[in-house]
Amino acid sequence: MTMLQDIYSAIASEGYSPRVLGLIENYANEILYGTASFSRFNLPEHAGLCTAGPVLIGAAVVADYARGSLEAGSHAAGGQGGGPSNWQIDEAQEKAVEQWAKAAQLWVEDSDVILLRNYGPMIAQGAEAKVYYRSGDTSVVKERASIYSTTQKALDAIVLHNYLFPETAMNVIGFTRDSDSLFRIILTQPYVKCRRLATKAEIDEMVAAKGFRDNWYGQGVNYTSDRMALEDMHPANVFIDEITGNPICIDCIVKFTTPSGGNR
């Protein structure tokens, strides 16, 4: 039995007991030390997984368990139509990550108040994130809402962003629900001082160097490679860094091009 199978078996029998929390923590440390791997990601992408931190790794394990458990239950019940829908998977994964995060003391109640107090005022708010920043700090803190079909894919997106854009790597520190009960991932990200917004040509050149091509015949903000898709790569998400003078991506939509994702 593999390390992950041991963890999944333990969750099924014990829930998020102290022993299970220890197993998940040990597995995260094994990944960080380079002695274990997570099959969703290839070797280069593991760098993005490590910079996302042990909290994301733990959440990814729990989300993967929730998906597998739901699919196994659907098959056992003789379900038709190819298994559970994305909304069912997302609901199960959100619930499981919330249960684990609360047990592991990674859940933040009244996050708007806590983040304001600890990290400074909210300086930006959009559909995807609330951004907090205190003048002089080297990082911003974000409450990031999922715009992906499942929680697992939202976690994948952080890993893939870190792999593609390590200069603005995201590190997950906790989870919360906002005043509208929307599930949010709390993360830190380096503060970037913007010289100006990047041009379309500069964005094209940046992503081409990473193996992506424009999938709208040069007219859009979406790009694809053999393994991943980049979307929402408009200038408001790609700045020219004041220090380096290079384009730098602070946020975008990134996902695997295969439905199952990664190596699964």
Q: Would the pLDDT of 263 be above 60?
A: no
Helices (H), 15-124: 18-33, 45-52, 54-76, 86-103, 111-119
Q: Would the pLDDT of 79 be above 60?
A: no
Q: How far is CA 200 from the centre of its chain?
A: 26
C-alpha closest to that of 219 among 233, 198, 236: 233
Residue 42 sits at φ, ψ, to 5 deg, of -80, 180
Q: Would the pLDDT of 260 be above 60?
A: no
Residue-level pLDDT at 264: 45
Q: Would the pLDDT of 169 be above 60?
A: yes
Q: Do residues 108 and 55 touch, judged by C-beta distance below 8 A?
A: no
Mean pLDDT score, 162-179: 94
Query: Does residue 141 or residue 221 have the better pLDDT?
Result: 141
Distances (CA, A) of 42 to 86, 119, 162, 175: 24, 34, 14, 26
Q: How far is CA 192 from the centre of its chain?
A: 20
Q: In what order do the strands lie in the sheet with 238-241?
A: 194-197, 238-241, 247-249
Residue 94 CB-half CA count within 13 A? 19
200: left (phi over 0), alpha (psi -120 to 50) or beta: alpha
Kindly provide the residue ranges of all beta strands, DSSP E only, lying in the chain, ordered along the sequence.
122-125, 129-132, 139-145, 171-177, 183-190, 194-197, 213-214, 223-224, 228-231, 238-241, 247-249, 253-256
Longest dimension (CA), the chain: 58
Residue-level pLDDT at 179: 78
First to last CA, the chain: 18
Residue 137 pLDDT class (50, 70, 90 cuts): very high
Query: Does residue 221 or residue 247 have the better pLDDT?
Result: 247
Q: Would the pLDDT of 224 be above 90?
A: yes
Q: Would the pLDDT of 261 be above 60?
A: no
pLDDT digits (tens, 9 = 90+) for 39-56: 889 999 999 999 999 999
Mean pLDDT score, 214-230: 85
Q: Would the pLDDT of 165 be above 70?
A: yes
Distance CA 76, CA 56 (A): 30
pLDDT digits (tens, 9 = 90+) for 84-126: 899 999 999 999 999 999 999 999 998 888 898 999 999 988 7
Mean pLDDT score, 211-222: 82
Q: Which two tokens stand for residue 244?
A: 């380096």
Residue-level pLDDT at 1: 62
**Average per-residue pLDDT for the chain:** 90
Distances (CA, A) of 155 to 87, 106, 161, 202, 223: 16, 15, 10, 28, 20
Mean pLDDT score, 12-36: 96
DSSP 237: G
Q: Would the pLDDT of 251 be above 60?
A: yes
